[in-house]
Every structure is written in structure tokens, then in C-alpha cells.
Structure 1
């Protein structure tokens, strides 16, 4: 049986299609962001970060699912090999991005998990979207799944901290830290609500200031 090292080039070449899919989605998101800025004088996207799961992570996930470790199984059963994290200033921008990207003619929406309206028990909040993206190759077109996670800057800060603690304690976070993280998540939610309110008030003032006096 060949070792993983012997199959490295096969995996590397097999995962290249996911890089092309990320390129497609990144281009779409950047175009939408620039167009929104031109029309509304506001950028809904603050930051975009993309990644492809490394083969070791893919293998671990296949094993957790009880699936044979093959490239074919990875492509058939995993939808998060290609991932993009989009951060926004305001919650309303999250749903605006969702609307803009999922209504494009060549994009197919596979699954949506709204952890903003329905937060996880630990306080995690984010909008997860799995899309199928067409990748146009020289001899064929392939539809490749890409997972997009859209969240505010505050949500992203919390998620990053929780992720670091999760692995520092080997997935077994002490109860006291779980409670503190949940309190921090509640604070993040309150902060997002306050920022949303302030932004709405700013928009109202700007509209009022443009109304000519009689």
C-alpha cells in the first residue's frame, strides 16, 4: 500500500480544483463589495480570508466520519474543503452579502445554517453558506462546493478566541471557561446590537440633513 507521502502529489493535484473555486468566489465577493461601495457609499465587507483544508485535516475528518481515506471520498462527502471567512461591521451587512451572492445565476445554494438568529449553545454566532461554484476548465466545467462563513468583526474575535481555547485544552474546555465564553458571547451580541442601532441613527441623521428646508 502506498504511504500518504507517496500519494501527496495525487492529493495536491486533486485539491487544485478547490483553489480555482476559491478564486471564483473571491472575485465575485470583491466585485459585489466594490459595486455596493459605488452605489451606496458603504463597503459591507471589511475583510476576506480564504483557505483550503490541508490533506491531514481532510484525512482526520474522513476517519471521524468512518469513511475510507481516499480523494474520491473527500470530494464526495466533504463540503468544507474550500472555505472563506467574510467579516463585516454590521449584522445587516451579513444578510446583504448572503442575498447578493446567492442570487447570482451561476451559483447554487446547497445549505444555509444561521447561527446568528439561532446561536449555538456555547454562544457561537455566524452565518454558514455552502455554495456550488462552477469552475471552467479547458475540457469541462466542474461544480465545486465552497463554505462561506459570514460574521461581524466582534463575532469573529469571539470565535477566534474560542477556537484557541478549544485546542489549548484538547477540546475539553473547563466549565468555568465555558461560562466565561458564553458571557463574552452575550456581550458581543449586545455590542453588535448597539453598533447596529448607532449606524441606523447615523443613516437617519444623514437623510434628515439632506432634506431641504421649506
Structure 2
């Protein structure tokens, strides 16, 4: 793992608190987003890497809706402990793998993954170009990536934002500027990396990069 990034955990600093919010507030979005990923990427088999998986909510939703084998990948071992527990409870352990590491130096062989998914992690990646370069490296030819953030629908977004602002009035301010910088830079970064194709989606489902290697 690269020393420049290995000590930095810029996402959720409190895994237990993060887990509670995912369960109590964000849970409805993951099946919706997983369905959208399947529709957009037409991927229902093969190896799916849930990058920056947190407690694994999106990867588990993909496992329920597809035949993919899910690699839950996060920098935090504590997050992966939660993901393992939920995978066991949901009887998807046989199709699950748990991998700790850094998005800037993914500990997987080149061209070993069919689909990379990630929701909410990318604004916290220190070096966007390097992270997306690593995603492209591990993807097989013709593989897809669906990376970004959103709530699945305008209705879900309104519901969740309202709940979160009641809990924490400054919630949106904590990541607003970081998210905007990522969105502004991403098209140029992807043009430089030259995947076979990419599409920036910015609609009611959220802001996503859909990439084909």
C-alpha cells in the first residue's frame, strides 16, 4: 500500500455511527441504485468490486439482485467487519470476498474485475486520476464501472436530506465543496485516461460516471 495514502481515512471516521445511519436512514436507496447499475451496465455475472464499500450496503444489494461475486473493498478493517457480519446474516458469504486496501493502489491483479461500483466514496479520494486509473487497470476489457453518488430518486433524496439535516444541520456542508471539485474535474480526468467510453450521468438518480474499459 502506498504510504502517502495508507494513514488517511477521509470517509466515515466512526464506523459504528456510519453503520447506524446506513441502517436507519439510507437503507432504502441501495436496492434502487443497484437496479440502476444493472440496467445501465447490463452486468449480472462475474466479479463486482464495491470500492469504498463501507459496511457493504450497495454490494449486498447487488448480490441480492444479480449473480455477481462481490468483493467488498475498503480502507477500514472495522467497516469490513460490519460488511462480513451482514453478508453472513444475508447468506451471501459464499459469493463474497473482503479486501482491505487503498483505492490508489488496489491490491488486485490487472483485468480481474468485471464491474466496479462505488457510492459516496469518490469525493474522499485524494488523487482522482490515480484512483480511476487503478479502477481501469483492474477492469477486464469490456468491463464497466459505475462510480459516484446519489439517492436513486428525487423522492428518496428529499426524504433522506430532510432526515439528515434534522440530525445534523451542517451535514451537507461537510462534503459540498469536496463533491463539487470532484464533479468539475472528473470529465477531464476520464478524457486523459481514455477508456473505451464514458458517460457522466447527472439526473434524479445522482451524479455518476459510467465507464466502459
Q: Which protein is richer in helix relative to its size?
A: 1
Bucket of the pairwise TM-score, normalised by the shorter protein: under 0.3
TM-score by length of 2: 0.25
TM-score by length of 1: 0.25
- Structure showing greater Rg: 1
